Structure 1
């Protein structure tokens, strides 16, 4: 239950609905609890109709009426005052029972409209809270946690918590109100009979405690298995083209079947426990009913403790009224235990502090000026791979820099550290003389455009994907201008719906080159001070590449541009070319100076020139 304490803030937020819901539950049960007393009075009246009324019968009836609720006493007083026949009194009582059922049902309707609706509001708030926290978590977190698990916690786990704040809370309060009212009037009517009737309850309490422990343990395991199952399905859907191209449908199905089988076994085990549990509750209630009739009948026959046929009927109705609440003890406890297990999983992520976040000393302002990497070293925490080692680099404002190197040389790491996706192990990174750790993340990432090598497009229109970084309404002219600079406008215009074309999940309906160019347009539309291209032209042909490079040279006239690649752009005049190898700079200079140096850059340049000559 301690894990569910974080939900209390939502109960406070919706305290008006919550308190009204409690009131409606109490009122609903109050009017329902009057029915057994009116029914008992009706049976006693019928008994008098069969027998000749005697003074002894009248005295017993008066004692019983004195134990009734105040409203029932007033009702009996009114109908007795009018001196109606017993038959008429029975008919009037039947009408009153019908009205009590209507009133109780009306308050039950209001009860659900407050408590259940409140639970939907809490579900909405909690999902938003989790999603907001997910977006604040750093890149390292997402490298160590699967998407399926993240999805399961924000969907299935939140749904189980909603069952606690809605139905479980409602049934628990209803249970307390029903049991409270029933026990009060049962003891008030005949405490001897009540003690016998309630004797099975200690067995019930022990059973509930024991079974709930089992349910809680199984619920935690089931939720973990469901996350694994969701992850397996999500990865299969995302990688369906790879699965089909390698003809691995059968093996992936077997992998999913194995996970599904584990989940099924544990879910069936939990269902088996509940299947035994609930009939046991019904059995104990049935024993209580049997005791009521047997012992009550004995008292009636021997005329003990003022027990009448009406008393037995009252107790039978009380016991039947207790049937659902007592049976629901297990159901409610099961929902609470499942919710606790789910909330524990949710709390694990909610209590995870992002490693990258703004600290109190951040300095608001614009991102511009010289960029300096000063003795920077960085090792990826999840793999232990050392990406940079005592790295030093200076880029003046407005310079165009080419970062060149083989795969794994640390090129992309430079971009990610500059965007403060990670903190360096050693050294400092400054922009305009300000450490990137002292720049607000929103400012840093708003004013630096980054085109990653792993292109991601949303399942939306092309226009919305390009305008993703824009604030406010979409300016279609700016969208088209950005697309022209990225050399993708003409291809978009050939689509049937042009810029309103839906690109599908992750841009699956587009070619690799089209996706890359749309992602470039998305970066250009921001009009940033600094723009970083991380190997984002690998999927375009040479002609399109030259066209894009020409446009970029014009676009980057007064901006700082960093192009990360493993190829040489001979048509783009860079102010500085930096060659990396194993996280350190091995060559640095201009195109001409590096050719004279006759190192890796010169060798790569000769290879590319030779390839172009062969293609020509």
Structure 2
């Protein structure tokens, strides 16, 4: 149970409620064990009457009525306390589930992009949903029934020893066998539970990817293959769950068998002791039978509790794997409201992607002044997008340094730095919400005028009002409702409504035609006045009005200068410009 030790902080946080729950549980069980004693007293009263020790039937009737009243009272008190017990433990388990999900989600938010490249979405979702739910069963029902079982055992055995010590010893003979069986079965359950949770992550990942890529699956006509693969995974998942259930199925019959032996021991050895005069009344045997059967559910629940604990152990171990991950990007500065001006400088920056070992940038140096438009061009894989990712501190450099307004980028508070950046990625991502909400994502308190103005500046307003629901149009997953160009322009609107100090455009107009691109950049020139703009593009038309242009090739600067300077250079840029100009004319 080492993995579950990480939950102790939550148990300590809610220690007051849990302590109250333990007290209530003890009270409920104490009231419950009064019933066997009262039934013993009733049996003794009848036995005394038959033996002539009681004068009249009226005395027996009075004794029985008193005992019946006490039994009803004890049952009502035990029932009320049991209700409060559930309210205490189960509510705490929901609080802990809430806290744990928030802890996992916060960790997900803090982890670097490398982590998401190594792990799949289905697995991430499974750990924050299925695994956390399994853990909740440990801090809720398992803990509640565990305390209840332990309390009942202690109280019942105390009264059994008090009533007949020797008979108690005979009654408890099966329990060491029970303990050993629970130990062996628990080991098997833990192993199989871990396998099921790992496989469930695989199944969720496959399902999630199938739904996300349904358009590709349909267009390639491979639905049958995916259905077949999913069926195989489902059957394997079923087999693993059946294997676990087979082990768990041993628990309840084993408990009932051992309780049955305890009943036989009570009847046989109790009867022998009564015959030999070691027990004064048959009522003691009746009391013991009730005690033993009272232990039936707690003993049977030991298997259920053990199963829940073992499943929670396996799940918490998987959760801890991610909670123990250390983010590569650390926030080294406290929260501050310091504004940045927008000057950016790369000094001998080199960067290699850890997951692929690809060298993206090699000893790269350049400077972007405040308010300038800086364009980065080059072939695919030359390191263009990497520069934008480094400015947003999605990664940290391996060598060299990046300066913002003359200060190392690591010295800025990470959240404050990103708040002042507007980033439009190459692959526009939109949320499954309305177009209005997607634009407001850049500025939560934006009014309708701000939203419309941003959409106009991104040249997407006319498209939006053409929809039947306009800005209230709900988008499909990842914005699938819109065309590629519309998604890119909504993504631009989301960035510029933020009114950032630095705007990063990562080839974000690749899906629109040249005329629309020029219209957008003309509007952005007005919007981005006094803002630093860094534009990654494959089109020379995007660069002609830039203050400075660099051409990258395998992480180093191949050419740099203004539009006119690069045309005079007769290199990569001029060839690209002439080629795209001729394509436009044709």
TM-score (norm 2): 0.97
Deviation, structure 1 residue 306: 2.4
Task: Give the corresponding residue for 1:64.
Answer: none
> Is 1:568 paired with 2:547?
no
Q: Cα offset for 1:360?
A: 5.1
Q: Which residue of 1 aligns with 2:409?
A: 436
Match of 2:135 in 1: 161
1:122 matched to which residue of 2? Answer: 96
State the shift of 1:94 in Å: 1.6
For 2:302, the equivalent position in structure 1 comes to 329
Flag structure 1 segments of 5+ consecutive residues without an equivalent. 59-79
Runs of 4+ in 1 over 3 A off after TM superposition: 360-364
Alignment equivalent of 2:400, drawn from 423, 427, 433: 427
Worse-superposed segment, 566-575 or 384-393: 566-575
- Superposition deviation, residue 216 in structure 1: 1.0
Provide the alpha-carbon RMSD of the alignment.
1.7
Matched, 1:193 2:139: no
**Equivalent of residue 206 in structure 2, options 220, 232, 248:** 232
For 2:333 and 2:543, locate their aligned partners in 1 and report how far apart those are by CA, in whole Å: 45
Q: CA deviation at 1:554?
A: 1.3
- Tell me if structure 2 keeps the 8 A contact 1:375–1:427: yes
Shift in Å at residue 282 of structure 1? 0.9
SS at structure 2 position matched to 1:404 = strand
Q: Of residues 94, 97, 106 in structure 2, which corresponds to 1:132?
A: 106
Counterpart of 1:77 in structure 2 is none
Alignment match, 1:27: 27
* Aligned-partner Cα distance in 1 for 2:319–2:266: 47
- 1:170-189 aligned within 5 A: 170-189=144-163
For 2:541, what is the secondary structure of its paired residue?
Answer: coil
Q: Using a 3 Å threshold, how does the CA distance of structure 1 residues 51 and 363 change in structure 2: closer, same or farther? A: closer
Query: How many residues are paired up?
Result: 586
Secondary structure in 2 matching 1:469: coil
Partner SS for 1:569: helix
- Conservation of the 8 A alpha-carbon contact between 1:368 and 1:432: yes
Residues 191, 361 of structure 1: alpha-carbon distance in 2 compared, 3 angstrom cutoff: closer
Residue 95 of structure 1: how far off its partner (Å)? 2.3
571 and 153 in structure 1: CA distance in 2 versus 1, 3 angstrom threshold:
closer
Give the equivalent residue in structure 2 for 1:404. Answer: 377
CA apart distance, 1:452: 0.3
Look up the match of 1:456. 429
For 1:356 and 1:348, the matched residues in 2 are separated by 18
Unaligned runs of 5+ in 2: none
Deviation at 1:505, TM superposition (A): 1.6
Task: Confirm or deny: 8 A CA contact 2:360 2:381 kept in the other structure.
Answer: yes
In the alignment, is residue 365 of structure 1 matched against residue 335 of structure 2?
Answer: no
1:40 aligns with: 40
Q: How does 1:242-253 map to 2 (within 5 A)?
A: 242-253=216-227
Q: Indicate if the aligned counterparts of 1:419 and 1:445 stay in contact, CA closer than 8 A.
A: yes
Q: Which residue of 2 aligns with 1:605?
A: 577
Structure-2 separation of matches of 1:569 and 1:461: 32
Give, in whole Å, the separation in 2 of the partners of 1:403 and 1:540.
Answer: 19
Deviates more, 1:490-499 or 1:597-606: 490-499
1:580 alignment counterpart: 552
Q: What's the CA shift for 1:542?
A: 2.8
Match of 2:287 among 311, 314, 317: 314
* More displaced stretch, 493-502 vs 521-530: 493-502
CA contact (8 A) 2:521 2:542 kept: no
Deviation string 1:183-217 (CA, Å, 9 cap, x unpaired) is 00000000111111111111111111111111111
Instruction: Map 1:195-274 to 2 at 5 A.
Output: 195-274=169-248
Q: CA deviation at 1:257?
A: 2.6
Q: Could you tell me which of 71, 76, 81 is aligned with 1:107?
A: 81
Q: Which TM-score applies when normalising by structure 1?
A: 0.92
